[in-house]
Structure 1
Amino acid sequence: MDPLDVLRRADRRLVDLVTTLDTTDLGLPSPCTGWDVRSLLSHTIASIDAFAAAADGGDGPSEEELFSGADILGSDPLAVARRSIERSQRAWATITDWQHPVTSVLGEMPAGQALGIVTYSTLIHSWDLAVAVNRAVEFDDAEAALAEKVGSALVPALRPQELFGPEIYTDGAATPTQRVVAFAGRHPL
């Protein structure tokens, strides 16, 4: 599957989830310790902006802004999400050489790796958002495969900074989605 198609599907899921939110949902706790839905969604959208900036060379949040959870949603979270996702989609559609280096908030890396990371982030945080508002999310095979591949390198590298919790044990009956989120330190449903 084309990595851009996986990103598009992850982005659509995020927009679909944001569409269902009301103002009371924004104050609900999320699976991310210390963050409510508003701060989780702000971080998720800031991540999309940060990696769009790596692809298009425009402005994006600093690492500090990205991980602060500071509110960037204002009074219209859906409009903010759509604007960031549209920028991201335009930026990634211009990339023709996935090995070309881009500079992200995580440092310089091949464009394909950066695309994988933002897709992974959107998938994981869409799951977090869905759990917070009591909705189910199941990744399809392509999403789960990308998340397992990207997560296997990214999560261990970021665990020392406490950006991911320890892996949660799952048995052989776990779905691909449950395995992905458990590896990222989330308790699967």
Structure 2
Amino acid sequence: MNPLDVLRSADRRLVDLVTTLDATDLGLPSPCTGWDVRSLVSHTIASIDAFAAAADGGDGPSEEELFSGADILGSDPVAVARRSIERSQRAWATITDWQQPVTTVLGAMPAAQAVGIVTYSTLIHSWDLAVAIHRAVEFDDAEAALAENVGSALVPALRPQELFGPAVHTDGTATPTQRVVAFAGRHPL
């Protein structure tokens, strides 16, 4: 599957969720300890910008800015989300060699790995956002497969920095989405 197809799907879900937010939702707690919805969405959008910068060579947030949770949404979260996603879509659409190295806030890596990481981030944080605003999210088969693949390498590498909690045990009835988020340290619905 084309890496852009899963990215586009994850981006659409994020925008759909952000369009449902009202001012009171932005102050709700999120599953990410210490972050409310505004901080969570700001981090998610900053991640999209950071990885778009790796593909287009433009400006992006520093690692410190990326993980600060500082408000970048202002008074129009939907416009900010759409602007970042449009930039990301344009940037990644220029990649013709997915093994081409790009330099991200996490270091140099093949473009395929970078687009996988930003897609994973968007999927996981869309799930976090949905939980915070009491909505259900289920990843489709391609999203779940990408998330399992990327998460299996990314999450263990970032656990020492406490960017992910310990895996949460699930039973044999867990959906693919529940397995993905449980591995990322979230308690599935």
Deviation, structure 1 residue 8: 0.2
- State the secondary structure of the residue aligned to 1:171: coil
Distance 1:2 1:14 in 2: 19
**Corresponding residue for 1:135?**
135
| Partner SS, residue 102 of structure 1 | strand
The Cα shift of 1:3 comes to: 1.2
Q: How far does residue 2 in structure 1 lie from its aligned partner after superposition?
A: 1.6
- 2-structure distance, mates of 1:146, 1:110: 16
Match of 1:68, SS state, is coil
Structure 1: how far apart are the matches of 2:47 and 2:159? 18
Return the alpha-carbon distance in structure 2 between the equivalents of residues 57 and 170 of structure 1.
Answer: 41
Superposed CA offset, 1:39-58 (max 9, x none): 00000000000000000000
Work out the CA distance in 1 between the residues paired with 2:89 and 2:23: 27
Cα displacement string for residues 13-51 of structure 1 (whole angstroms, at most 9, x for unaligned residues) = 000000000000000000000000000000000000000
**What's the TM-score once normalised by structure 1's chain length?**
1.00
Deviations 1:114-160 (A, max 9, x none): 00000000000000000000000000000000000000000000000
What is the identity percentage for the equivalent residue pairs of Structure 1 and Structure 2?
Answer: 91
- Matched length: 189
Distance in 1, Cα, partners of 2:55 & 2:164? 25
Gaps in structure 1 of 5+ consecutive residues: none
d(CA) in 2 for partners of 1:90, 1:55: 9
Aligned to 2:34: 34
Where does 1:57-68 land on structure 2 (aligned, <5 Å)?
A: 57-68=57-68
**Cα deviation code 1:56-95 (max 9, x no counterpart):** 0000000000000000000000000000000000000000
Matches within 5 A, 1:4-43: 4-43=4-43
Whole-Å separation in 1 of the counterparts to 2:2 and 2:132: 30
SS at structure 2 position matched to 1:40: helix
Separation in 2, partners of 1:40, 1:174: 25
Give SS of 2:67's match: helix
Q: Distance in 1 between matches of 2:86 and 2:30?
A: 25
1:167-188 Cα shifts (integer Å, max 9, x gaps): 0000010000000000000000
Q: What is the rounded CA distance, in whole Å, between the counterparts of 1:20 and 1:32 in structure 2?
A: 20
Distance 2:40 2:95 in 1: 28
Once residues 62 and 43 of structure 1 are traced to their aligned partners in structure 2, the CA distance between those partners, rounded to angstroms, is 12
Deviating above 6 A after TM superposition, structure 1's stretches of 4 or more consecutive aligned residues are none
Partner SS for 2:102: strand
Measure the CA separation in 1 of the matches of 2:111 and 2:9: 19
CA distance in 2, matches of 1:53, 1:68: 18
- Within 1, Cα distance between the matches of 2:140 and 2:12? 13
